[in-house]
Copies of this chain bind each other. A is one copy, B any other.
């Protein structure tokens, strides 16, 4: 850590900061400039808070030098992580397409959609059985019954499955039916859930919270990694900004920024990222052009009657068209679909 003292900080103030640092186990290096004294602290800890030093008398500001996450850091695995699930690889040359309905609704619905997405080239089917809904009066998902239907439809169409877990008590159920466990944006900082997921040996798709910085996303990933579960994928799904023309503002630049900061694969979810089906297509193309490792896309055979997220679900033919466009774009970034 670097502590920059104020101009005119007294020797007593400087010594006080040095004492604090030393008492916390830091080795301190002092550098006296014309206007400012700078203290460099090298220590065993990353879990201190710079704010604790910034309020000490005579301190101007502090800067953390070492990222507060270790296992999620690119430098931990410079070559990048490839998550293997069944016979697919996420983070390798092929862009992985995960598609399906927002919620599993009934046997016919999930079966028809599974066929549609498999035929168009998806390898993973998505579908929620436990739904985090802003209103207590909205459809909350079918629970275990939904997971069973999802599994059956996936198996018949040789697809893998991804489904959301909302609470640590649901983990055993999810583990039985899903190949990838999804943590939704609202749960990105549900630490008891993340801690539990760290104990599994099952891939986790961790979505960025709507107001989470990328550093916070990586610290949440660190909760899972530090438990020993290294199969973590990150997912950009739109952030909240002042602009309301779209439901969220999809932060496409998060894709290349995450590739610099971390070795974990990066998935893009243009359905939640925009909230409107006509905007899903351009944003899906943009995500692949920006080097996403995979896409998570809502597709429904009859969006007008979907029980949730109908407005952002693609029609089957739109999804097929999109796959064709993505096959043109992928080679520009050295990938295939």
Which A residues have a C-beta under 8 Å from some C-beta of B? 2, 4, 7-8, 20, 29, 31, 33-36, 38, 40, 42, 45-47, 49, 51-52, 54-56, 60-61, 63, 65-66, 68-69, 75, 132-139, 166-169, 186-187, 189-193, 195, 209-211, 213-216, 219, 222-223, 226, 239-247, 249-257, 260-261, 273-279, 282-283, 285-291, 303-304, 306, 308, 310-312, 325-326, 328-329, 331-333
Q: Are B51 and A311 in contact (CB-based, < 8 A)? A: yes
Q: A214-B245, A222-B135, A245-B213 are in contact. Are A282 and B253 (CB under 8 A)?
A: yes
Q: In the complex the two chains form, what is the Cα distance from A17 to B233 in whole Å?
A: 35
Q: Are B66 and A35 in contact (CB-based, < 8 A)? A: yes
Q: In the complex the two chains form, what is the Cα distance from A275 to B256 in whole Å?
A: 13
Kindly identify which residue among B216, B243, B331 contacts A251, using a CB–CB cutoff of 8 Å: B243
Q: In the complex the two chains form, what is the Cα distance from A167 to B170 in whole Å?
A: 13
A211: shortest Cβ distance to chain B, in Å? 3
Q: In the complex the two chains form, what is the Cα distance from A216 to B136 in whole Å?
A: 11
Q: Which residue of B lies closest to A189 (CB)?
A: B186
Complex contacts, A213 vs chain B, CB 8 Å: 242-245
Q: Are A33 and B38 in contact (CB-based, < 8 A)? A: no
Q: Are B192 and A186 in contact (CB-based, < 8 A)? A: no
Q: In the complex the two chains form, what is the Cα distance from A191 to B277 in whole Å?
A: 27
Q: A49-B308, A286-B286 are in contact. List 7 more A-B contacts (CB 8 A).
A: A2-B38, A31-B31, A36-B66, A249-B253, A253-B279, A257-B279, A329-B332
A4: shortest Cβ distance to chain B, in Å? 5
Q: In the complex the two chains form, what is the Cα distance from A328 to B219 in whole Å?
A: 37
